[in-house]
Structure 1
Amino acid sequence: MSEQPPRSGEITSAITPSRVIVALCLIAPFVAMLWVGSYARVEPAVIGIPFFYWYQMAWVLLSTALTSVAYILVRRERRVRKGGTPE
């Protein structure tokens, strides 16, 4: 029962460190927004905006950054698997 090496172009389902980082980057915003008890309060207010609102708006920007990081990591991994070099 020896395992055959993957053929060129065949997708393998290996868990790599970059895939774990990608998963964390994509899951973090969902967990932060679904855990309402962590941000359901008024204080601390920033320039008169209650915490409840500015926390959610901050996650819009953080989600964008985390999704960009995930995209870059996935693109780099695909390039390496196809035989190219990482940037």
Structure 2
Amino acid sequence: MTTRDPGQPRSDRSPWNWLLIVPIVLPLCTFLFNADQPRLAGFPLFYWLQIAFIAVGVAATTIVYRMTK
């Protein structure tokens, strides 16, 4: 773990932080899930795509955390 001097400001300006916009904007694109087909295990597109959005959010957060650590 790195330490910094108390007088130095913390730097949160990493380009990797822009990746966090993807899980916010992706569920707002309604054209992606405006259909009933295809079905996955009997579930309509809307329901399993919501689970996929969660997976994208977890992946993006993990990547940003590891790259800005």
Shorter-chain TM-score range: 0.7 to 0.9
Q: Which has the larger radius of gyration?
A: 1
Cα drift, residue 12 of structure 1: 7.4
Whole-Å separation in 2 of the counterparts to 1:61 and 1:30: 12
Q: 2:16, 2:68 within 8 Å by CA — same for their partners in 1?
A: no
Structure 1 gaps, min length 5: 1-7, 76-87
Percent identity for Structure 1 against Structure 2: 29
Give the corresponding residue for 1:59: 53
Alpha-carbon deviations, 1:45-82, whole Å to 9, x = none? 1111111110111111121111011111121xxxxxxx
| Preserved CA contact (<8 Å) 1:29 1:59 | yes
Structure 2 distance, partners of 1:20, 1:49, is 37
Query: Secondary structure, in 3 states, of the residue corresponding to 1:60?
Result: helix
How well do the aligned residues superpose, as a CA RMSD in angstroms? 2.1
Which structure has more RCO (C-alpha within 8 Å, separation ≥ 6)? 2
Asked if structure 2 preserves the Cα contact closer than 8 Å seen for 1:22 and 1:69, the reply is no
Normalising by the residue count of structure 1, what TM-score does the alignment of the two structures yield? 0.61
Matched, 1:47 2:45: no
TM-score where L is the length of structure 2: 0.74
The ranges of structure 1 where at least 4 consecutive aligned residues each deviate by more than 4 angstroms after the TM superposition are none
Asked whether the equivalents of residues 44 and 50 of structure 1 are also in contact (C-alpha less than 8 Å), the reply is yes
How many matched pairs? 64
- Find the counterpart in structure 2 of residue 22 from structure 1: 17
